[in-house]
Amino acid sequence: MGRPESLGSRSSSVSRLGRRRLDRRVDHDRRASRRHTVCRATRRASQDQLEGASRHRRQWAGSQLRRWGPRARRWGYDRRRDSGGGRPCAEVHLCRHRQGELVSSFGVIVVDKPEGPTSHNVVSIVRRGTGVRKVGHAGTLDPRASGVLVLCLGPATRLSEYLSTSKKIYAARIRFGESTKTYDAEGETTSFAGELPSEAQIESALDTFRGEIQQIPPPYSAVKIQGRKAYELARAGKPVKLDPRSVTVYELKVLDYQPPDLSIRVECSAGTYIRSLAHDLGAALSTGAHLVALRRLKAGHFGLEHAARLETLEAAMRRGEWQSWLLPASEALPDFPIVTVEKPELEKIRNGQRIPARYQATGMARALGQDGELVAILESVEHGREWQPRKVFLS
């Protein structure tokens, strides 16, 4: 008689375990359904906000966004894909707005970085202020340097590899008579010189730094050696040996010379270290030199006239008006020619397929939809007869 009882008790416990699992599954399905409903409500409301619905519809959408927006964002809703009757179009990323609405975040912001914060600090400030998860810079600036810092937001971060390779223009101040470990004013002094060079000697020495040159990065730099950054090894007291690299100095002009300080203007290729230029110039003149001040005037086509001061941008982010500083991604690469694509071509681009070129194509190009939005970066193939999508921004 004991055996049936044990079997009965066991079957009872199994059934209770099965009920618990079933209850958990039902709860999970209920939560998933609610999550889908909330995200769908947020998506519809954001479309009404962005697509110019009636006043009453916009008011309703605003209340829906205030109600469901925070929860939808916690559940991973940070973008929408424009339907347009099923027509494929550029992916529109959305982020949080101070008033609770969702706004587009596909573009670049040019910041006039002050001395002090690192480039990563500026990225963190913009990420927190705008609510955009993906923010990156297209070319770092040293903490002591100021000037143009290009930030890519949303899917535009995929353009950073093209932006970071553009030419740079700097204004620099070099001090002769003293060399440092870091090649700038922060490092420990390693040598002094009694005499200072004349302006004629400086002009003669600068000739060797124009055009394509071989340059060794500073030991205190972010260049990686076997997976570790050079400055980490240098701070740990370990020897740092970096290989020279080829860089191009397009223009090197003396602006002013008030001994011991020399002010210059440098137009150079990406990857050029102005600290190394100052150090090498001092070595060539046998006087020693280090960099005192550095300001980036231009990065690619973006100059100080396009840049927002960091405090101005922070104030705009607090007011929820930072989008006035957001430049469309379609304007980020003006050197790339424009290819306007039709609906059938959009379908091919979405699937990574080639499209025919209407003219003899060379190099890279920007593919824009009928609405002027960037949909892809193309590269010419088959001797310029076709375009191959390299970066696709379609949903």
- Which distant-in-sequence residues (6+ apart) come within 8 Å of 304 by Cβ? 112, 147, 148, 297, 298
Report CA torsion sign: 279, 282, 287, 291. Answer: negative
Provide the H-helix boundaries in the chain.
2-50, 55-74, 119-130, 160-163, 199-206, 230-235, 274-284, 310-319, 343-350
Torsion from C-alpha of 5, 11, 14, 15, nearest 10 degrees: -120
Query: How many residues in total does the chain contain?
Result: 395
Amino acid, single-letter form, for residue 392 = V
CA–CA dist 91, 373 (Å, integer): 9
E strands, 216-354, are 224-225, 228-229, 245-258, 261-268, 289-299, 302-303, 308-309, 327-328, 338-340
Instruction: Let me know the angle formed at the C-alpha of 292 by 289 and 274, rounded to the nearest 5 degrees.
Output: 70
- Measured in degrees and rounded to the nearest 5, phi and psi for residue 144 equal -80, -10
Of 78, 142, 184, 280, which one is the catalytic site residue? 142
27 has catalytic annotation: no
Pairing of strands 364-368, 386-392: unpaired
Tokens of 119: 């480039």
- In the numeric block, the tokens 């099923």 are attached to 86
Is residue 96 within 8 Å of residue 105, measured between CB atoms? no
Is residue 195 within 8 Å of residue 252, measured between CB atoms? no
Coil/strand/helix, residue 78:
coil
- In the numeric block, the tokens 């030199």 are attached to 289
Is residue 375 within 8 Å of residue 345, measured between CB atoms? no
Whether the link from the prior residue into 143 is cis, omega within 30° of 0, is no
- Positions annotated as catalytic residues are 142
